[in-house]
A and B are shown apart, each in its own frame.
Chain A
Amino acid sequence: MGIRLIKAGMFTTVQDIGRTGFQSRGFRACGVMDRRSFRIANLLLDNPENEAVLECTLTGPVIEFTSEMIIAITGGNFQPEVNGEPVRMYEALYMKKGDILKLGSAVTGRTCYIAFSNYLQVPVVMGSRSTDTLCGIGGFKGRKLQDGDYIEERIKRRKYLPYFLSRKLDLDEFDTSREKICVITGPQDDMFTRRGISTFLGSEYTVTSSFDRMGMRLEGPFVESRAGSDIISDGIPFGAVQIPENGKPIIMLADHQTTGGYAKICTVITADMPKLVQRRIGDRISFRAVTPEEARKKILDEQQEFQQMRDRIHRPCREVLDCRLTAKRVRQLFEDRPQ
């Protein structure tokens, strides 16, 4: 019992926060691109924070449920439908056996996340269920999902969640915003001229079609270096902005290599990565330098926000508080029953 992918979608993989602890051995961390949407999807279902989800890219899957379970979909707007009827994202959805969930193309954003109350039966490899498609490690058979794939549910009968009707949150909006992406400069910013750095921080760049889970290449004004871009290879963090010889930025994303030899002018702050990865080809991006303290404040504020979300979905809903409303609904069930 579980889910069958009638259509797998453009690039759908099983991911969690990533395979950490092994980067020193050359294993990419991989994991979800948009950590915020990932967390909210699991939060809606009271799932463990790092429970594996399906990450869907650009065009989503068509999924048949061969078992009852509860799901939640977050991220860019993929216009989800269940049995032909539109359903809301950022809400717990009750799926019955035989239901068909169809995700279309992303109208906003780039990726969306489907969390499952019965979890996905996918083995843990080196502490994570994330898929490394380049090395064929982890996730569902080490690859992206294909039409016809079947994933078993990992546990059975978790089809009751308290405060079910309260499990809805405001949609995160992924329209192209004019907000600048915050970065912390360094560690090789000293390899760029002052003009190069002010060009980078003062210009608009365009997201090119070279945008995948490994990285996002930008087109725009040339960023000048003092003496070339080669460094002695060092570790690369999620969100690092490398600038090779050609002066055009490349931002390192979830499937980035562990080490590299191009100078890094800055790193995108953790709180702004979800916004960045949900940009679309052709979008304009500009950057703003912030201090580590400002960056920390943003991520701690987001922690508070998650706590508020948790509180909201664990509140009794209107239907529980207002008995008359519930009574009316229950009466309807009896009146609609065939005699």
Chain B
Amino acid sequence: MNKRIEFLPEGDSGILIRWPQEISPQITAEVSAAAHALRHARIEGIIDIIPAYCSILVCFDPTAVSFSSLHERLFQCIGREKAAGTAVIRRFEIPVCYGGGDMPKVMQYTGLSEAEVIELHSKPEYLVHMIGFLPGFPYLGGMDERLAVPRLKEPRAVIPARSVGIGGSQTGIYPLSSPGGWNLIGRTPVRLYDPAKDDPVLLRTGDLVRFVPVSEEACAALEAEAEVGKGCYRRQEGENEWESV
């Protein structure tokens, strides 16, 4: 059993499972596997789980189960999953129409040309460390440090849905229209949050995401397709073939 992991009470209806505090693909993989194991174990008394960069908050019903007995069950469950192996890796290719918004500001701050910004932003395979803040909002790791631009001093009242942005050294996509302080460098037709779907949120912790630059015209065409329900992205599950959705 992994001695680096702590189980701490958080209030009387929470247990915080805490890994060493760092943002890394290894810790995210462990958190992702543990979350997967917890969901499948269907432990009595658990109401919800909130995985994050290096922790999982387990919300439970204190009238149904005590801290100590839940602690025991969690301990058994997470230890076991490490022996059984990790969850399947999913990869996504998401089209992005770069430009507009705060692109001029980003170019000015970084000293890069628009083409260079696009190249650096679309090159890495980003890791989804966690989903939080808004339904389907991915916290992506792996952005090139040269693209880091501080958040706006005053957040915008409204950021259009599906905007792609940079906030400090993080990058992400707004699934919904929302106030926010990130620098907007593009948009995507892909609905990261779609209330019409059975599973309304596309991305999960542990997913890998690559951005594919597309032209303004291509984006408009994809937007039209997305309106009528097409996914407009490519996906690979584990070792299977890539499929267009």
On whether the beta carbons of A25 and B53 are closer than 8 Å, the reply is no
A26 interface residue, CB < 8 Å from B? yes
On whether the beta carbons of A257 and B51 are closer than 8 Å, the reply is no
B225 interface residue, CB < 8 Å from A? no
Contact residues in B for A233 (Cβ distance below 8 Å): 52-53, 130, 132, 139
Residues of A21-62 contacting chain B, CB below 8 A? 21-27, 29
Shortest beta-carbon distance from B225 to chain A in Å:
24
Bitwise interface map of A from 260 to 281 toward B, beta carbon under 8 Å scored 1, else 0:
0000101111110000000000
Also in contact, A23 and B62, with CB within 8 A (given A135-B176, A187-B16, A232-B21) = no
On whether the beta carbons of A235 and B136 are closer than 8 Å, the reply is no
Bitwise interface map of A from 302 to 332 toward B, beta carbon under 8 Å scored 1, else 0:
0100000000000000000000000000000
With CB as the reference atom, state the residue of chain B lying closest to A134. Answer: B178
Bitwise interface map of B from 129 to 140 toward A, beta carbon under 8 Å scored 1, else 0:
011111111010
On whether the beta carbons of B48 and A23 are closer than 8 Å, the reply is yes
Also in contact, A259 and B52, with CB within 8 A (given A237-B59, A296-B62, A296-B67) = yes
Residues of B91-129 contacting chain A, CB below 8 A? none
Which of A21, A183, A186, A237 has the most CB atoms of chain B within a 10 A radius of its CB? A237
A258 interface residue, CB < 8 Å from B? yes
Shortest beta-carbon distance from A156 to chain B in Å:
30
CA distance A300 to B13 in the complex (A): 13
Contact residues in A for B9 (Cβ distance below 8 Å): 184, 186, 292
CA distance A23 to B131 in the complex (A): 9
A236 interface residue, CB < 8 Å from B? yes
Contact residues in B for A266 (Cβ distance below 8 Å): 11
Residues of B175-220 contacting chain A, CB below 8 A? 175-176, 195, 200-201, 204-205
On whether the beta carbons of B130 and A259 are closer than 8 Å, the reply is yes
On whether the beta carbons of A270 and B137 are closer than 8 Å, the reply is no
B63 interface residue, CB < 8 Å from A? yes
B29 interface residue, CB < 8 Å from A? no
A239 interface residue, CB < 8 Å from B? yes
CA distance A233 to B49 in the complex (A): 15
On whether the beta carbons of A258 and B133 are closer than 8 Å, the reply is yes
On whether the beta carbons of A187 and B10 are closer than 8 Å, the reply is yes
Also in contact, A24 and B12, with CB within 8 A (given A135-B135, A232-B54, A296-B67) = no
Shortest beta-carbon distance from A53 to chain B in Å:
19
On whether the beta carbons of A21 and B48 are closer than 8 Å, the reply is yes
On whether the beta carbons of A232 and B11 are closer than 8 Å, the reply is no
A20 interface residue, CB < 8 Å from B? yes
On whether the beta carbons of B50 and A24 are closer than 8 Å, the reply is yes
> Which of A29, A267, A271 contacts B48 (CB under 8 A)?
A29
On whether the beta carbons of B10 and A24 are closer than 8 Å, the reply is no
With CB as the reference atom, state the residue of chain A lying closest to B53. Answer: A232
> Which of B50, B67, B201 contacts A235 (CB under 8 A)?
B50
> Which of A236, A239, A268, A270 contacts B57 (CB under 8 A)?
A236
On whether the beta carbons of B132 and A237 are closer than 8 Å, the reply is no
CA distance A267 to B48 in the complex (A): 17
CA distance A23 to B53 in the complex (A): 15
CA distance A236 to B10 in the complex (A): 9
B88 interface residue, CB < 8 Å from A? no
Shortest beta-carbon distance from A38 to chain B in Å:
15
On whether the beta carbons of A258 and B10 are closer than 8 Å, the reply is no
On whether the beta carbons of B51 and A26 are closer than 8 Å, the reply is no
A283 interface residue, CB < 8 Å from B? no
Residues of B50-85 contacting chain A, CB below 8 A? 50-57, 59, 62-63, 66-67
B8 interface residue, CB < 8 Å from A? yes
On whether the beta carbons of A23 and B50 are closer than 8 Å, the reply is yes
Shortest beta-carbon distance from B110 to chain A in Å:
24
Residues of A212-262 contacting chain B, CB below 8 A? 231-240, 257-259
B41 interface residue, CB < 8 Å from A? no
CA distance A34 to B67 in the complex (A): 23
With CB as the reference atom, state the residue of chain B lying closest to A28. Answer: B135
Contact residues in B for A184 (Cβ distance below 8 Å): 9-12
On whether the beta carbons of A299 and B131 are closer than 8 Å, the reply is no
> Which of B12, B48, B131 contacts A270 (CB under 8 A)?
B12
A165 interface residue, CB < 8 Å from B? no
CA distance A264 to B8 in the complex (A): 13
On whether the beta carbons of B53 and A237 are closer than 8 Å, the reply is no
On whether the beta carbons of A26 and B12 are closer than 8 Å, the reply is no
Contact residues in B for A296 (Cβ distance below 8 Å): 12, 62, 66-67
B47 interface residue, CB < 8 Å from A? yes
Shortest beta-carbon distance from B197 to chain A in Å:
11
Also in contact, A24 and B48, with CB within 8 A (given A236-B57, A296-B66, A299-B12) = yes
Bitwise interface map of A from 93 to 131 toward B, beta carbon under 8 Å scored 1, else 0:
000000000000000000000000000000001100000
Closest 9 pairs between A and B when the two form their complex, measured CB to CB:
A235-B57, A267-B11, A235-B50, A259-B132, A295-B12, A25-B201, A234-B52, A26-B135, A234-B55
Residues of chain B touching chain A, judged by Cβ–Cβ distance below 8 Å, are 8-14, 16, 18, 21-23, 35, 47-57, 59, 62-63, 66-67, 130-137, 139, 175-176, 195, 200-201, 204-205
Other contacts beyond A231-B21, A300-B63: 16, CB < 8 A: A22-B135, A24-B50, A25-B200, A25-B204, A26-B135, A183-B11, A187-B16, A235-B50, A235-B51, A235-B57, A236-B50, A237-B59, A259-B130, A271-B12, A292-B67, A296-B12
